Structure 1
Amino acid sequence: MQFSSAKIRNLELKNRWIMLVMHTGFAEGDALTEREYAFYEERAKGGAAAVTMVLGVNDAGALKKMYHADTLDGNSLKTLAERLHVYDCKLIVQLFHCGRNESRKNHGDKPLLAPSPVASPIFREEPQEMTEEDLLQTKADFAKAAAFCKENGVDAVEISASAGYLLSEFLSPITNLRTDKYGMGEDKGMTYPLEVLQAVRESVGDYPILMKVSGAQMLDGGYELTDTIVFCRKAEQEGFIDAITVTGGWHESPVEQISFYVSKGAYAPLAGAIKKYTSVPVIACNRIQDAETAERVLSKGLCDFVGSARAFLADAHYVEKLQKKEMFNHCQACNHCIMDVLKGKELHCAFCPEAGHEYMENQRRKIATRKEVLVIGGGPAGMYAAKKSAERGFLTTLVCKEDHLGGQLNLAKLPPRKEEIGTFVSYLEHTLKELGVNIILRKEVDVDFVMEKKPYFTVLAMGSEPIIPNLEGLETTTYQLAQNVLRMDDETLKKYGEGQIVIVGGSSLGLELAEFLMNKLPEAKIKILEANSRMGAELGAMARPLLNGLKKAGVQTMCDTRVTSFDGKKVMISIGNQPFFVTADHLILACGSKSVSSSEIAMALMDERLSYAVVGDADHVADVDEGLKSVFELFSRFYLA
């Protein structure tokens, strides 16, 4: 069903897959650039029936580095539509107003406008309450922007009324405290959004208009699904809309929206409920990122189309590969993309550094050469380096000391909900074989091996190894490394079900190990000791659901707790310079990792004046995002041809 055609009003789409809107932050000047053309065009080539780009309706409504309708060159929009149409892909433009949802730093001198002066819990900036003049002007700007899109070849517009942005703020009793006709009266704040929709319809006439809504606000005291259904029914009955895109809650909702904490297709029932009470096509979204989930929600009648943004970010040819049943690069739902966008940074994918740089990749020709690139290390940075090298046309050899590829990702996939990380390893391994990379496993590379090959270029990607702290008493204390515990089978793990477990280290490794143990041994008693003031600081917003789950499971977390020494089962600690101890029947060290030294091989290469680079954890320990990015930047600099 997902590959059959269907219509929105009079617009025929070749399949049921719509690339949803993503704010890229790529805007430069007042016209789309080759960077944006190439980004969207690659997704059109990759099988999307339609792609959605965002456009601020005016300057005040646009986020940092977002185009807005007041100044965007219409010819550049027309060019984008024409380039997409070559691949039978339609262009949808989402008409957007951020409302209160941007930081003052990124919004600059522009006013943050909202129904009422209620600050966002994310950005903590009190907005200005919209005056009658603001309301009239903004409504006119929505209508003007819609007409602008129609005049410049856009196939449909989508009105943003979701996620906590301006129009959705009128629907919420939390953010709409007005006492005039646009307040929470009998129509529950729907008056102004409906007036905006009416103005848009009057400006474009017989033309497809989509509306994007949150199925529910998912905040205490906020609007509920029944309210959204009423709103959608009114908009449809008035003839204002031709399709409805249904997402989950707001960005500030404590309920996870798009991360791996959300099961696949979990919010499709919200779309299903709206579809039941309306007659226009409904697009379901949030965690619909594979063929099985798409087919399930479509065949159940929960929606007419499926929408995804990040699946297309991770693999531009996602739909084409689904249809051909080929391996693709899965979205890992890690939220790196959305966290950076909310900070005003450019859109990127942690597992696909090429995303947003297609215009650069398109300028590179494959080099006809017999020169060899040697990559030492079979972790994610090494595998990705081998991929980029082979794509550039070099004879590429990848050497890995283990009997399998993947490095640290083989551990990262073991905690609950992280198993899809294994698909990234499988995807890279499949790609390397297709590119003809020579893969050598179970080989410890030494200087002699490298000097015998004398490669044109060597990539040192030996990864990292666990840190073992130099603390008094540790040498006579029984302990395990977190990495080794993650590898244990269920039978070996049983002993951890009795007695007190103490994990030293509250970074992502320690927290995810605790979750792993609680999943295997629900009755386990676990304390986590962390020297810093925050657990999982490097996880950002993703720490919240993890810590909430551990708290619910009874795991005790102790911040600002420095381990000073060990004495048998006693772990000596310091809290505020006061000495204490905790008892550990099972001591596990999760103290992070350090780079594996590559200096011996590097020195030998320098002596022979052979070029090399150190990447990933071998350079400095970081997450997979930073590691892959370092490789992409290396090959962008080195092999620009």
Structure 2
Amino acid sequence: MSTLFDQTSLGPMTLKNRLWRSSTWENKADSKGHLTPELVKVYENLAKGGVGTIITGYAFICEEEQPNARMMGIYDDTFIEEYKNFTKNIHELGANIVMQIVYGGSQTDFNSGSRKIFGPSAVENPIFKVTPVEMTKNDIDYIIKSFAEAAGRVKEAGFDGVELHGAHGYLLSQFLTPFFNRRKDEYGGSIENRARIIYEVLEAVREKVGPDYPVFIKMHSTDEWGENGLTPEESLIVVKGLQERGISGIELSGGHLSSDPDTAPIKPKLLKKEKESYYRKPAAMIASAVDVPIILVGGNRSVEVMEDILENTPIKYFSLSRTLHAEPDLPNKWKQGFRGKPRCISCNKCWGRDTNICVLDRKKS
């Protein structure tokens, strides 16, 4: 019987367990996206806490396009040396580390009135009220090149892999979602066309980092926009296209910050086990139809539920975000036999303008 603490391999990566830390915006980098002691400490605690593979908070790939304050950056070569020291430190503490890279688009209220923001179409973001500039082919080529160059820096800096952010209402996911993508050219219409930019990003990244370097993507199993959204069946088509083009693994999530808050990637309180792992059904359907490893994210909170999914579906890896935000040593506790409730109650109060910290820790300070 498989367990969460099996050692596995994923390409050149050796994973000491099946647990991943899903990308989480920490709001602790400096104003230009460089590391701070406060941010480094977050990752040291995660590595010491026992999670096998850490995915960083999203890092912006274009200096002029920072979708959130104090997020990590990877837009030029000045980051490489500091990240080399950073990744070496995390490896010495026993964890793999993958960098997530992103172009944000209209899902932002950070300096949004003072910069040019691209989108697949000039559709106002329902929550943030930002109307992006519809991208030309030259703009699309620029973004593809920016992703590839950022991925090259990620590899040079010693990260174990790179993850493309194609979920949660940011630019690449907007291309997949008909609500945002109303184009009439080769990047709009059919799901194959809407996925074209993602395929081209992956191909450009692969050309930059080589055929064996781990390249992942976070994308939706379903995005819950109804008839204007991405269905699980369409997601499967995209996943198959990514598999054909050499993706190493796919982290399946769902929801948009820009749609109904109840379907956003940050869910309300999860106090019952039947509410956990809430994208398991569409993710399992997709995983059963492909060979590429699937990493399930969203409400993974207990060993019993995850090991049931591990035993009864093709899903083999699990990402956690808020749970590790509140309790970075939870993987070690689970390995030692702890089966009680996690410290995190999914109250969503860890998000803040000034810093992102568990509300229980904030009350202590």
Q: Distance in 1 between matches of 2:355 and 2:61?
A: 20
Q: Distance in 2 between matches of 1:80 and 1:299?
A: 36
1:210-221 mapped onto 2 (5 Å cutoff): 210-220=216-226, 221=228
2:313 pairs with 1:301: yes
Shift of 1:132: 2.2
Contact persistence 2:27–2:354 (CA under 8 A):
yes
Aligned to 1:260: 269
Aligned to 1:333: 346
5+ unaligned residues in a row in structure 1: which ranges? 354-627, 633-641
Shift of 1:58: 1.2
1:427-576 mapped onto 2 (5 Å cutoff): none
Shift of 1:179: 1.5
Contact persistence 2:288–2:313 (CA under 8 A):
no
SS at match of 2:55: strand
State which of 235, 238, 242 in structure 2 corresponds to 1:231: 238
Q: Distance in 2 between matches of 1:34 and 1:62?
A: 22
Q: Distance in 1 between matches of 2:268 and 2:120?
A: 29
Normalised to the residue count of structure 2, the TM-score between the two structures is 0.91
Q: Distance in 2 between matches of 1:314 and 1:52?
A: 16
1:249-398 mapped onto 2 (5 Å cutoff): 249-254=255-260, 255-256=262-263, 257=265, 258-260=267-269, 263-326=275-338, 329-338=342-351, 340=352, 344-353=353-362
Report the AA paired with residue 21 of structure 2.
M
Shift of 1:106: 3.7
Contact persistence 1:57–1:141 (CA under 8 A):
yes
Aligned to 2:44: 41
Q: Distance in 1 between matches of 2:111 and 2:60?
A: 15
- Moved segments of 4+, more than 3 Å: 105-108, 326-329
Aligned to 2:171: 166
Shift of 1:131: 2.1
Contact persistence 1:115–1:170 (CA under 8 A):
yes
Report the AA paired with residue 334 of structure 1.
C
SS at match of 1:244: strand
SS at match of 2:350: helix
When Rg is computed on C-alpha atoms for both structures, the one with the higher figure is 1
Report the AA paired with residue 330 of structure 1.
R
Instruction: Report the number of matched residues.
Output: 350
Q: 1:179 to 1:48 in 2, by over 3 A?
A: same
Contact persistence 2:62–2:146 (CA under 8 A):
yes
Q: 1:281 to 1:118 in 2, by over 3 A?
A: same
2:193 pairs with 1:197: no
Contact persistence 2:127–2:259 (CA under 8 A):
no
Contact persistence 1:55–1:62 (CA under 8 A):
no
Contact persistence 2:154–2:162 (CA under 8 A):
yes
Q: Distance in 2 between matches of 1:69 and 1:266?
A: 32
SS at match of 1:63: coil
Measured against aligned partners, the alpha-carbon deviations of 1:129-182 in whole angstroms (never above 9, x if no partner) come to 112222111100000000000011000111111111100111111111112211
Contact persistence 1:217–1:253 (CA under 8 A):
no
Greater RCO, CA 8 A, separation 6+:
2
Measured against aligned partners, the alpha-carbon deviations of 1:20-69 in whole angstroms (never above 9, x if no partner) come to 10111111145312111111011100001011112111121542222322
Aligned to 1:99: 105
Q: Distance in 1 between matches of 2:335 and 2:191?
A: 48
Q: 1:195 to 1:226 in 2, by over 3 A?
A: same
Aligned to 2:28: 26
RMSD over equivalenced CA pairs, Å: 1.8
Report the AA paired with residue 55 of structure 1.
A
2:5 pairs with 1:3: yes
Report the AA paired with residue 138 of structure 1.
I
Q: Distance in 2 between matches of 1:297 and 1:259?
A: 22
5+ unaligned residues in a row in structure 2: which ranges? none
SS at match of 1:98: coil
State which of 113, 116, 131 in structure 1 corresponds to 2:136: 131
